[in-house]
Structure 1
Amino acid sequence: MAKKFKRSYKFAIKTSLYITLVLSVVLAGFAYFTSGFIPGPFLAFIFITYLVCFFIIQYRVEHFIYKRIKKIYDNVSLLDSTTLKPSQVTTDMATLTREVEKFTKDKKLEIDTLKVREAYRKEFMGNVSHELKTPLFTVQGYILTLLDGAMKDKAVRKKYLQRASKGVERLIYIVRDLDMITKLEAGDLHLEEEDFNIVELVQGSFDLLEMKASKKNITLTFDIDYDEPIWVNADRDRIQQVLTNLIVNSIKYGKEDGTTEVSIENLIKNKVIVRVTDNGEGIEKENLPRVFERFYRVDKSGSRKEGGSGLGLSIVKHIIEAHNEKIYVESVFGVGSEFSFTLEKSKNIPEINTEI
């Protein structure tokens, strides 16, 4: 409830005036017929009557409104009557109405926010359950099959143990990513910032993922030849993880014989922007606002053929925001996607030893 109210005396002034006029007319008529009209006492009576009526009416109206509004506060669970004080009461009902409406709107906004959070919590818990359930049941199925007698066959035993091992690896992968996101959100993940050449880091990511890209004949390339190093200041290992996740995503959802292109451009005086562009499936417009949510998948079929924990883009977003930088996504469905993020340039460019 707001503390500032406009106190109004209009009702008390007008009502007191009406009462005084009526009493004055009655008294004047009585004095006229009894021949006892004396101007001095008559005017004093009018003045005193008006003042007494004004103060009584003002006090009673305020007390009446306060009691009624407090009762409303007590009866409506959204309102807290402890925030209402007699000194805040006004006889201006328009002001009271605006204040109560404003208070109610604020509470409704809080409730709507809580509902959104509750829906998100339920969806998140469902996603976690689904992601963990699949590999757990897979591992359980292979182990139970082995215990039922399949382990006597060496070939089957080895194959099932290998598959169970992959299921365990997937569980570890999901738990590790969840742990990282938790640390990032809690601010417990310490960033070790240093100066490094972002061009070299991107090339290292290309080399690391070259075999994965070759399975779909996807070319990993720069937009131009970067002959000179571009020095940035950030946590090298975390930015490596960001690049790896973005490039892996471009390969997962890229088309056969496609291209993943990385460009590094000056944004402002002390910033560069790194763009990872592909000509793959693209993302539908309605899905763009949610691509960085944990476990959110654009593929509504829920297919897990591409693997992954469903946490990659969420981790990317958290790492970039931990650097106090921004990440963006643009996509045209059926044409391709572009993920970009900013980094701070190095203030002190390391010296390069050119001696042979």
Structure 2
Amino acid sequence: FERSNFYVKLLQPIFQQDGLSEFDRRLAIESVLLDRALAGTDRLKVSSLLAGPQRIYFDGANPRISTPIEVQPLPDAPEQDFTPDVPGLDPFEALFVLYKRLFDLQIVTGPYEAKRARVTRQFQLLNPLTDLYELSYLVPILVDGRPRALLEISDSYYLREAYFGKNKSRLMVLVGLSGMTIIFGALLAISIAMPIRRLSRRLNRRLKAETLVEQLAGFEIEAFETRRDEVGRLYRNLSRLHQQIITLFHDKERFTADVSHELKNPIASIIANTQNAMAEATTAERAKFAAIQNQAVRMNKLISEISEAAIVDHDLVAAKRERFNLSETIGELIGFFEPAAHAARLHLTFDIESHIHFTGLPDRLARVVINLVENALSFAGPQGQVHIALSKTWRQGLVLKVSDTGPGVAMADRTKIFERFYSAREDKEGREGNSGLGLYICQKIVEAHGGSLTVTQCPKLGGALFEITLS
């Protein structure tokens, strides 16, 4: 574009001379454009706009001045046969082919129409060969606003040569930087990312509830203890926190056992003394001592259940899980409850699917069944019914249901009954004999085994339906 403007300015004074013949004008144009001080005239063409055959004033591709003759002697010995090199796999060539397609979509145009050059400039960029681009401008030479001639200037570009000549060194630098980045990333992953991932896997594997105590004892990673970087610092902080968890865990267990032991001794003394006093007291005094004894017995039961809750928490994380036949365990418990249900004139029915095995703590799961069945028997009422069902499906997994013909659980209490020290019993006698920890312990045991415990209304018996789901 700049060169076309430059040539137009050079040639405009020649076309403004009306007295020149076409031959003299051609000589004047050649005298200007054949100056060796000018560059790029080999792709320049100037033609007339007159009617009839087009007159060519200048054609840089076919100049009138011939180049000097050069004589080159032939060598005496014949040249060796030319053997072309077979190109190998070149990543730069692959990138060139890929980017060229995108490049062509943006810059390659259709051919221009020469007639329109009388009015305005015409531009075209063609791609006749694989990597050859032909750029052409067709510019009118105006004299007093009227077109007098056409100046055609063109050039060719070999994109592959420009690509490899100018960008290969840059690409090599980028490849080198990429290689350094990959090496640095690999070193970073080996020194930091992989140790952190190893530590994370250790934490995920070690912090499972079923064998927490055994896992806490084997948390150490010797290779991390001597590290002086951030990974070693993180490991040491986690190790200290780990030891604090172990200490707190044992302190809680020891504190609960000590408190239970210290409270049980005076309560046992109170119960024994009230019994002795009742043997020698009058009728009026005996009723007072009986009230004291009942409250002492209730407190002793409450302390026992609190201690039981602490022992359950310890067993859920410390005891080793084992695989056992849950069907046989529940069958034995049903046999234990049948005499009590018969004495209370209650109907105890069951539907137990045989040969259902489960991995867990059999004593704790048996405790869950005992608590649920005892609650169902106490709520079933006279001539009531309690039903126990155990089944296993591919969708829900293992399902244990305990239902009764009692009043059921109100919608507002269905989440509260699993809280500590909460009781939904309305009668005073039932409240005094119940600590409110039974269902709380049941829920904790079930959740520690990866299951859920819910309560709904039994559509068949009309009372409460406790459902345990274990996967």
TM-score (norm 1): 0.48
Q: Looking at CA atoms only, which structure, 1 or 2, has the larger radius of gyration?
A: 2
TM-score normalised over the length of structure 2: 0.37
Q: Larger helix proportion, structure 1 or 2?
A: 1
Of structures 1 and 2, the one scoring higher in RCO (CA 8 A, sep 6+) is 1
